Amino acid sequence: MSSKITIHDVARVSGVSIKTVSRVLNREPNVKGDTRDRVQAAVAALRYRPNISARSLAGSKAYLIGVFFDNPSPGYITDVQLGAIARCREEGYHLIVEPLDSTADNVEEQVAPMLATLRMDGVILTAPVCDHPVVLAALEREQVPYVRISPGGDLDRSARVGMDDRLAAYEMTKHLIGLGHRDIGFIIGHPDHGASHLRHRGFMDAMADSGLTVRPGRVEQGYFSFRSGFEAAERLLSGEDRPTAIFASNDDMALGVMAVANRLRLNVPETLSVAGFDDTPGAKVVWPQLSTVRQPIAAMAGAAADMLLTGVSWEEGEKPPFKLLDFELVVRESTGPAAA
């Protein structure tokens, strides 16, 4: 039925012009409240669905928001998409998700065709793409608005959304210390992600503030993937002198730690406590369930989309818009008191 309904039908039923219907559908200002209600009621009664291509041809907007990413964690990217899609749908926009290989030499060749062929109204950038100078320069050259999620540097360059990664890691480390752990291992996230360094700093600060020294060999490099967490855990747990807890910078790496613990028959949390970061779906399906930091990934993506949809701008001399979202410490069964 909806495919046969046109904007002319909506105009006829609501008793207004086609132009007025278009203004209501495009959420333009200066439409009287009762007129807007009448049009929206007609749209609902007729089950009218505007054609996004026709809308973009009729105006300056494409009704497309992009997400550029290069992140090995599927749970993270899924949450980013869900958060951005939910906000875009509210405004009648579509979301385009584009992977980039930010380590390749041809980043310009990856980005330029997308910007040339897809007339996007804005782009959401996740780490590490959000800090890539070639990507940022290309967007600015094409005058495409963008919002960055958790950038690591050049913070006054654009609008951004984030959380306090350092404080979140600090509090998780304090949780482990409060359970009696004094010898704690840490797995750093991907070195190209700004959040990785902030989480590592939070861990180190919490240890120092508690009068504890991080022992040599207790900090390992990871890359936010299950495999890198597995390999880091093998190094941390290879000898008899093992840490009593390991804090990994994301859940995927923490699950890798738990896999190694299971292979070595180290009971979690009786022999080894394990903590992660993000609270992705895997944290709740593994057993024991993973203690982690609940990062508001979907909410951050939704906030970034909202900035683009409502218009990102700031006056010269002002700082770009920034929205800081709250995190939550989620304590589950994977962390417990240190063994005596």
| pLDDT confidence band for 228 (50 / 70 / 90) | very high
pLDDT of residue 43: 83
Query: What type of residue sits at position 279?
Result: D
Token pair, residue 217, equals 């060999």
What's the Cα-to-Cα distance from 66 to each of 96, 109, 127, 194, rounded to whole Å? 5, 17, 14, 21
pLDDT of residue 60: 57
pTM of the predicted model as reported, rounded to 2 decimal places: 0.79
Judge contact between 308 and 65, C-beta under 8 A. yes
pLDDT, tens digit, 9 for 90 and up, residues 99-124: 898 888 898 888 888 887 777 899 99
pLDDT of residue 51: 59
Among 5-19, 42-56, 60-74, 277-291, the minimum mean pLDDT is found in: 42-56
Cβ neighbours of residue 272 closer than 8 Å, sequence gap 6 or more = 237, 242, 243, 244, 245, 246, 261, 266
State whether residue 140 is helix, strand or coil: helix
Strand partners, 66: 96, 123
CA dihedral angle for residue 161, residue 166, residue 170, residue 172, rounded to 10 degrees: 40
pLDDT, tens digit, 9 for 90 and up, residues 17-53: 877 877 777 667 678 888 888 888 888 888 876 655 5
Judge contact between 144 and 122, C-beta under 8 A. yes
pLDDT, tens digit, 9 for 90 and up, residues 192-204: 898 999 999 999 9
